[in-house]
Amino acid sequence: MQQYSTLIFIALLVAAFYFLILRPQRKRQQAMQQTMNALSPGSRVMLGSGVFGTVVSVGARQVVLEISPGAELTVLKQAITKIVTDDDEDSLDEQDELDEDQNAVEQPIHGRGSRAERHRPQG
């Protein structure tokens, strides 16, 4: 009886390993393969580093992205983590709010000047 319980325990460990590690990994690989197959010129994508770009052309192993008007970047397909939607990117209104907040931070306090102006050598 002891040998059967050991065999059952080993079988349960193998099943747990399969369902907790191997099966989810296979699903991630299939999802990544579907993403790679769905790439086409004009698609907006995000790289693993967080860079957004528009697909210009797709090769066997590489993709050419336009990251800003006139600036192209060639990357491996594996660097692309997902095809983005409008929800993944900031809207222009959100960007304007961020710019206004940044401008408010950069303005010096009146009458004191900037740090560089206060510590500039006289001469």
- Write the CATH number for 46: 2.30.30.100
Domain count, the chain: 2
- For residues 81 and 27, membership in a common domain is answered with no
- For residues 4 and 19, membership in a common domain is answered with yes
Q: For residue 10, which amino acid is it?
A: I
- For residues 61 and 9, membership in a common domain is answered with no
* Mean pLDDT along residues 56-83: 92
- For residues 67 and 97, membership in a common domain is answered with yes
Maximum Cα–Cα distance for the chain, whole Å?
96
Q: Give the domain extent around 5.
A: 1-38
Residue 40 has pLDDT above 80, yes or no: yes
- For residues 20 and 52, membership in a common domain is answered with no
- For residues 47 and 28, membership in a common domain is answered with no
Q: Is residue 10 part of a domain?
A: yes
CA 47 to chain centre: 5
Residue 1 has pLDDT above 80, yes or no: no
Q: What does the pLDDT read at residue 36?
A: 84
- For residues 8 and 44, membership in a common domain is answered with no
Query: Cβ neighbours of residue 62 under 8 Å, at least 6 residues apart?
Result: 74, 75, 76, 77
Q: Return d(Cα 52, Cα 42) in angstroms, integer.
A: 12
- For residues 32 and 43, membership in a common domain is answered with no
Q: Return d(Cα 93, Cα 91) in angstroms, integer.
A: 5
Q: Give the pTM.
A: 0.56
Most confident of 4-8, 89-93, 117-121: 4-8
- For residues 34 and 71, membership in a common domain is answered with no
Q: Is residue 113 part of a domain?
A: no
Q: What does the pLDDT read at residue 63?
A: 94
